[in-house]
Structure 1
Amino acid sequence: MMDHVRDLASVREATERLLAAVAVLDNAAVAAPSRLPGWSRGHVLAHLARNADALVNVLEDRPMYADAATRDADIERDAPRSPADQLADLRNTADRFLHSAAAAPADWTRVITMRNGVTDVAARVPFRRWIEIELHHVDLGLDRELEDLSEEFTEREIDFLAERFAGNLTVPPLALSTPDGRSWRTGRTDGTPLPVTGPAPDLMGWLAGRRDGSALKSPDAPLPLLPPL
């Protein structure tokens, strides 16, 4: 069950961790490669700031981004900024998001439109922001790994990604599980599901495109190539 108030509290905590990690970076560290192919840490930080702006747009019933080209251009524009400018932008946009969420209309069940026409309920927007902060903090390659994320976050993110890939005709039927007995179904609904087992952080990392799945067990067939998120 979604609890946007609790998720907003988690967003605040994750934001403070991120800001503390970014506050010690120098010019060379910001310009260094992140774990995302083709992106520096500056790209990741710029994306996080612009994502906060975009989610404010969603909460206030405006298009998330003007268009894909503008989104990409804004990230490229902001990536080379100084550490001080990156930190200030991150802090200001995070505050703006939290203020907008606090002032949002009371109907958290209303349908909102995300990027590429994807729809969701307003109550999931705080969780979506939490995802952005936690995964991209790991992408920075600084002080945080997938194993450091809370069990609650990891399980909910697997739920979210399994739901996202459910019914996708390019993904074979999958039966995901952890050694402690948690399980998910995703992919196509036809045929016998391919069993994929492993620690929850590794399952999440594979579904989110952060790990190659080498830590997972799939005895019946090789792991499929998942479509990009």
Structure 2
Amino acid sequence: MIDHAHDLAALREATGRLLSATEKMDDSALGRPSRLPGWSRGHVVAHLSRNADALVNVLQGRPMYADSETRDRDIERDAPRPRDEQLADLAASAARFEDAAAAPADWSRTVAMRNGVTDSASRIPFRRRAEVELHHVDLDAGYELEDLPEEFTTREIDFLAERFAGHPDVMRTGVADGTGRLWKTGGGAEGDPVTVRGTAADLLGWLSGRRDGSALTVEGGLPLPALPPL
């Protein structure tokens, strides 16, 4: 069961870690490449700021973004800003999200995301937490997938396994982390089911497109299943 209050508390902790990391960067550091192709660290920070505002829109019943072009244009506009402006925006946008989430609301209601996706309002705090945690890793500033809280990693694997469940291009796949936990995903593509094993961090990296899966093993020596872009 989703506990939005728990997720909001965990989000505050994750945001604190992110703000502490970015405060150590100067203008030069923010301009260096992130781990996301074509994006600097400034792009990642700008995206996180605009994502917080977009999720405020979701909680308040407005479109998440005006359109994809506006979203992309705003990130490109904000990415090269001076460090102090970037960090002030990151903190202020996070505070705006927290204020919006603190307002009395029906957390069981359905809300609209991007591209026709809908979800329960109760999952929005976890969605924001995933943005903060994973993009903190993307900054390439010493925070790794192995540093993520175990509870978050497990739940994000849950989320991604569910996202690919029944996908027409993904074969039936079991995902096991060696501790007895097993997730099932895929199911649409032809071929016998396979089981992929590895650490939780490596499995999350593969499912989220942040690692190539070379550290994983597939039972029977079969090729690693191909995953579509998120």
Partner of 1:56: 56
Counterpart position of 1:179:
178
User: Do 1:59 and 1:104's aligned partners in 2 also have CA atoms closer than 8 Å?
Assistant: no
Which residue number in structure 2 is paired with residue 100 of structure 1?
A: 100
Partner AA of 1:65 in structure 2? Y
- What is residue 151 of structure 2 aligned with on the other side? 152
Matched residue of 1:108: which SS? coil
What RMSD, in angstroms, separates the aligned Cα atoms of the two structures? 1.0
How does 1:1-229 map onto structure 2 within 5 Å? 1-105=1-105, 107-188=106-187, 192-220=192-220, 221-229=222-230
Write the distance in 2 (CA, Å) between the matches of 1:104 and 1:199: 40
In the aligned structure 2, how far is the partner of 1:143 from the partner of 1:202?
17
SS of residue paired to 2:217: coil
Moved over 6 A (4+): none
Q: Name the TM-score, length of structure 2 as normaliser.
A: 0.97
Amino acid at match of 1:44: V
State whether residues 173 and 188 of structure 1, in contact with CA within 8 Å, keep that contact through their aligned partners in structure 2: yes
Q: Distance between the aligned counterparts of 2:229 and 2:48, measured in 1?
A: 18
Contact 1:169 1:188 in 2 (8 A): yes
Contact 2:175 2:183 in 1 (8 A): yes
AA aligned opposite 2:184: R
SS at match of 2:84: helix
Residue deviations 1:94-140, cap 9 Å, x none? 000000000141x1111111111111100000000000000000000
How many Å separate the matches in 2 of 1:157 and 1:23?
27
Unaligned runs of 5+ in 2: none
Q: Is the 8 A contact 2:195 2:218 kept in 1?
A: yes
The number of residues matched between the two structures is: 228
Which one is further off, 186-195 or 83-92? 186-195
- CA deviations on 1:29-53 (whole Å, 9 max, x unpaired) are 0000000000000000000000000
Cα displacement (A) at 1:192: 3.3
Q: CA deviation at 1:224?
A: 2.3
Matched-pair contact (CA < 8 Å) for 1:60–1:104 = no
The gaps in structure 1 that reach 5 residues or longer are: none
Q: Aligned to 1:196, what secondary structure does the other structure show?
A: strand
Q: TM-score, normalised by structure 1?
A: 0.97
In the TM superposition, what is the alpha-carbon distance from 1:146 to its structure 2 partner?
Answer: 0.3
